[in-house]
Amino acid sequence: MHIYKRLILSYLLLIPVLGMAQPKSQSYWQQRAEYTMEIDMDVKTHRFNGKQKLVYYNNSPDTLNKAYYHLYFNAFQPGSMMDVRSLNIEDPDSRVGSRISQLKDDEIGYQHIKSLKQDGKTVTYKVEGTILEVRLNKPILPGSKTTFEMEFEAQVPLQVRRSGRNSAEGIAYSMTQWYPKLSEYDYLGWHTNPYIGREFHGVWGDFDVKITIDPSYTVGGTGYLQNPDKIGHGYQKAGTEIKQSEKPLTWHFKAPNVHDFAWAADPDYKHTTAQVPNGPTLHFIYQETEENKENWEKLPEFMVKAMQFMSKNFGKYPYDQYSFIQGGDGGMEYPMATLITGNRNLNSLIGVSVHEMVHSWYQGVLATNESLYPWMDEGFTSYASDVIMKHLFDPESDRNAHEGSYRGYFFMANSGQEEPLTTHADQYHSNRSYGINSYSKGAVFLHQLSYIIGQETFMKGMKNYFNTWKFKHPTSIDFIRVMEKTSGIQLDWYLEKFVYTTDQIDYGIRTVVGDGDATYVTLERIGEMMMPIDLYVEYEDGSKEIYYIPLRIMRGAKEVENTQIQRMNKEAWPWTYPTYTLKINNAASKIKNIEIDPTDRMADIDRSNNSMDLKSAMKAFEDPTK
């Protein structure tokens, strides 16, 4: 996340920064953190004391004189930046609204630092809202490491957004963003965005976490439980008997190579598992009721299939475990786990579970900076989720699985209030604009890319992207470069137009002129954004042809997608030319219909001029009264 001076840059200056990719070469580097934490939770006061040891590796070429932590719970206090933003944005999240402003002292959240040392010596620090700024006793030199030791205390807020206690469904603790978390430092510097409501960015590392809590509680979350034989609650090894104790239990988790750690706890949790063949063990942790019992019992079958499909088509899930945990306030992803509301109908429960599970690829493993590229997480996740849901429930249909995303994008594009995808996540003018851009336009970006480079090549590229950039925080240019290498097509123009601007796509069939045994079709670009064209021609005898017109700036052409229809490759269209005329070697009387992109992958904002029924047009020409 940007430091303050970067936040005041104008968008004209910001856009090139957002497009910069750290080159994957000898100059590539990323920081590393190793967390060891112990917390002691008091379920009567909803407060806990914590100890944190953090070994931080500076793999950058820079000398660091300061360090920054996120104190997310501090957002849940009257007058916080999250509170004020919610009170002033035009369409506040209904889960937040004015609730933070009304929290009482025993309902707010906070994280108080009791002591902080660097390599055994006390350091000075200050807290501003949700950011802890540390002035180091000694600089952290390039290629060196340092150890921070911290003692802190925290109060779990009454649940407002994602984190907290006593959720609307009665879950005791949704422990997300619950510990002082070191900010990420990368080629853009420190990422110290205050917590206003959007999502997260973190340092790759290992977590070793011990959670001591009332013995009646079951805990689930990120990482692998190290002491199941001492815990019980469904986690014990087969055949091991557990004698319940009145003393607090300590749950010991380890999570390798993740960028965050989340957990949840409740005395009424039920815990079941399902094994994915040649894949991870899936854990299901929820409050069973008469109303939700059947749906949660059916959920594992669908999630096993979803995990298999995702791993096969988008890249193999790299951990041995994933947990679906009832908690939170909707659905929110974390490494190796998700918190979801659980009292849903079956389709809704499967839908939210699939979506949050897919985040394990784009947030959990690829982990783009969601302040700068929320569309690369939410949009890519939405795309893959839609593909999986169609695979699970409607595999034989030829419908566009992403039609909902297109509707959302068209709504915003036609509203006059669309903002570019380069907008900082916290600075969208409305929650609606953020949501449609991040989820809908992000998914459209991918599906439309499959139109440009071809579906089969696109799917190869998605897997190449995952395998190339997993555990490395890729940027938008890192993604587009993988797609260029996979397809052999130049794609910088696509990223620049569809992401950096709000330019729209609008193509039309301008004229169709018959000339003996030939027909001349003139196409026109009406919108500001250029695209290659697939023009489908259907003849009266039922046969079809595709006239493919790449853009000159693509410097290449996509492979044939539909081998059942002959494709005629035409000369590339220079984007500065507003029109393009092509010749069809058949009489107009033999042509039944002409249509631009009947697959509906191109996000053309006005499809009314994308097709022409020549027989109807001819009749209208012969009889103007019709």
Q: Give residue 135's region: left, alpha or beta (phi > 0; psi -120 to 50).
A: beta
Q: Residue 247's pLDDT is what? A: 87
Q: Residue 299's pLDDT is what? A: 98
Q: Residue 232's pLDDT is what? A: 67
Do the beta carbons of residue 207 and residue 214 sit within 8 Å? no
Instruction: Output DSSP code: residue 208.
Output: E
Dihedral Cα 454, 456, 459, 465, nearest 10 deg: -70
Length of the chain: 626
Instruction: Output DSSP code: residue 608.
Output: G
With cut-offs at 50, 70 and 90, classify the pLDDT of residue 4.
very low
With cut-offs at 50, 70 and 90, classify the pLDDT of residue 18.
very low
Q: Residue 27's pLDDT is what? A: 78
Q: Residue 109's pLDDT is what? A: 98
Do the beta carbons of residue 552 and residue 575 sit within 8 Å? yes
Instruction: Output DSSP code: residue 454.
Output: -
Report, as an integer, the average pLDDT of 311-316: 98
Kindly report, residue by residue over 468-527, the tens digit of the pLDDT. 999 999 999 999 999 999 999 999 999 999 999 999 999 999 999 999 999 999 999 999
Kindly report, residue by residue over 350-382, the tens digit of the pLDDT. 999 999 999 999 999 999 999 999 999 999 999
pLDDT of residue 307 exceeding 70: yes
CA 511 to chain centre: 42
Kindly report, residue by residue over 250-287, the tens digit of the pLDDT. 999 999 999 999 999 999 999 999 999 999 999 999 99
The predicted model scores a pTM of: 0.93
Give 64-92 as a DSSP string: EEEEEEE-GGGGSSTTSHHHHHHHHSSS-
Hey, how many other C-beta atoms are within 10 angstroms of the C-beta on 451? 20
